[in-house]
Amino acid sequence: MSDAMPSTGQDDGRFAALPVRPGKIIAVHLSYASRADQRGRRPAAPSYFLKPSSSVAADGSTIERPDGTELLAFEGEIALVIGEPARWVSAAEAWSHVGWITAANDFGIYDYRANDKGSNVRSKGRDGYTPIGPALIDASTVDPAAIRLRTWVDGALVQDDTTAGLIFPLAQIVADLSQHLTLETGDVILAGTPAGSSVVVPGQTVEVEVDVPDAPGSPASGRLATTVVAGAGGFDPALGSLPAVDDAQRADAWGSAEAAGFAPETPADAAPALDPDLKERLLRAPVAGLSQQLRKRGLNNVTIDGVRPMHPEQKLVGVARTLRFVPNREDLFDSHGGGYNAQKRVFDAVGADEVVVIEARGEAGSGTLGDILALRAQANGAAGIVTDGGVRDYDAVAAVGIPVYTVGAHPAVLGRKHVPWEGDVAVACGGTTVLPGDILVGDSDGVIVIPPALVETVVDAALAQEEEDAWIAEQVRAGHPVDGLFPLNAEWRARYESERGR
């Protein structure tokens, strides 16, 4: 590929940074690990949407936030400009078909995202919503795994990542797209945005820069600046749907519920809910032994019945964080089921060493969580999830790896049987009352609930009993009959305590 950029041959300043007006602009939905972790889901393969070339804007342009909307979000991105046409190219040869790279900003109005149902035609296709430039970098001179992307809002750095953080390498994206359509000279691929994308308002200026610090001469695109202005005029309801937002869209647009201003998140450096020494002892104590000790103290109704572990080999130890579903009623689901509902709030708020405990009344005819919420709990450091309802996306949830106890799999969403009602209240899970702050321990035998006031006494007694039982097992293996040995009579106990130096 030549270092020289072809002449634009155009009078329209919008395309001044590009070799030609692009025939198509293809954007990747989710490609950076940092963004995927922020969203609580990591795709197995890249997916795409199209933007019209009429959305291209040049450096120094303005972008309108339409009247009647509130969620205009920026997304700093690397733009790949195709040099040589590509069709059915391999990943190994794909980068040679990229002529240049530069900075881009994939602006979008979240107020129309739900109405667009994934197409992003109205949310991201408006005039001026794809600024590109200001200068091109010759792609043949750079390592595609060492490109840096940075974004500033009013001079403050808000995005800083490199292509080393991509889930899908740039060459893979080019090769994948070439399986489905011909990438023509001048076509643009927007390679996705890292964490840090958020909402901007009229009067703010967003700058994006792409550079390659380790390449000879440290080539850079220069800063691509766009200023937000207020748009005049609204939308005609007689022609199409109107913009609409809910708390879920606000959280996505701002980057988090906390940034959107309506729900605190658990700090990343929050202290664990369990004392580390107590946690270590609980991890060693079997549920059967803990059950025995609680029964000795008059507590028989402390097992969560009917649930089985998705990972029997994993131990569950944590502090209860509760969520209650009530039976579905259409009017109540309309008022409580959508937006930033109780289910999402609890999974956003669960912290380190906490267990989400869900009351679903033993109703297995609907899922009570799926892979996205399981990922969110895992990202927050949660100890696990216990539900006496179903799990949808069962295999995907299992792949997340977090300990989950459930009555089984079901493909339906919760609105079929449940309304997410409230969190951090007393719940009935598997026939057992669970209070926020109760201690939960689970293994292949099941899950048990321990009142916090008893946990130290119970776990120490259970571990002592485990030691005693292990000694008894040694005697049985040696050929002794169990009569008088299990449980220990006075003679055997004296021998046990003597051998243990007591």
What ranges do the domains of the chain cover?
13-260, 279-455, 457-499
Q: Is pTM beyond 0.85 here? A: no
More confidently predicted of 336 and 214: 214
Q: Tell me the CA distances in angstroms from 188 to 20, 183, 212, one per residue in order.
A: 10, 9, 19
Is position 393 annotated in a ligand binding site? yes
Residue 272 has pLDDT above 60, yes or no: no
CATH superfamily of 13-260: Fumarylacetoacetase-like, C-terminal domain (3.90.850.10)
User: Confidence class of residue 496 from pLDDT cuts 50, 70 and 90?
Assistant: confident
Measured N-to-C along each axis, helices 455-477 and 490-499 cross at an angle, to the nearest 10 degrees, of 100
Query: From the CB of residue 100, how many other CB atoms can be counted at a distance below 10 Å?
Result: 24
Instruction: Give the span between the Cα atoms of 133 and 169, in whole angstroms.
Output: 22
Q: What is the predicted pLDDT for the residue at 502? A: 57
Q: Tell me the CA distances in angstroms from 21 to 26, 56, 268, one per residue in order.
A: 14, 9, 45
Query: From the CB of residue 498, how many other CB atoms can be counted at a distance below 10 Å?
Result: 9
Instruction: Give the span between the Cα atoms of 418 and 46, in whole angstroms.
Output: 33
Measured N-to-C along each axis, helices 455-477 and 276-284 cross at an angle, to the nearest 10 degrees, of 30
Q: Are the beta carbons of 94 and 86 closer than 8 angstroms?
A: yes
Question: For residue 431, what are its two tokens?
Answer: 């026939």
28: buried, middle or exposed (CB in 10 Å: 19+, 13-18, 0-12)? buried
Q: Are the beta carbons of 389 and 406 closer than 8 angstroms?
A: yes
- What is the tens place of the pLDDT at every residue in 207-251? 999 999 999 999 999 999 999 999 887 888 888 988 888 777 788
Is position 373 annotated in a ligand binding site? yes
More confidently predicted of 177 and 38: 177
Task: Give percent above pLDDT 70 in the chain.
Answer: 95
CATH of domain 279-455: 3.50.30.40
**Phi and psi for 178 in degrees, rounded to 5?**
-70, -15
Lowest mean pLDDT among 279-293, 349-363, 458-472: 458-472
- What is the tens place of the pLDDT at every residue in 155-207? 999 999 999 999 999 999 999 999 999 999 999 999 999 999 999 999 999 99
Instruction: Give the span between the Cα atoms of 455 and 461, in whole angstroms.
Output: 10
User: Confidence class of residue 7 from pLDDT cuts 50, 70 and 90?
Assistant: very low
Instruction: Give the span between the Cα atoms of 456 and 196, in whole angstroms.
Output: 43
Q: What residues have CB less than 8 Å from 354, skipping those under 6 apart?
A: 273, 318, 319, 320, 321, 382, 383
Instruction: Give the span between the Cα atoms of 355 and 170, in whole angstroms.
Output: 38
Instruction: Give the span between the Cα atoms of 209 and 4, in whole angstroms.
Output: 21
Q: What is the predicted pLDDT for the residue at 262? A: 67
Instruction: Give the span between the Cα atoms of 351 and 372, in whole angstroms.
Output: 16
Average pLDDT over residues 328-357: 88
Residue 18 has pLDDT above 50, yes or no: yes
Residue 59 has pLDDT above 60, yes or no: yes
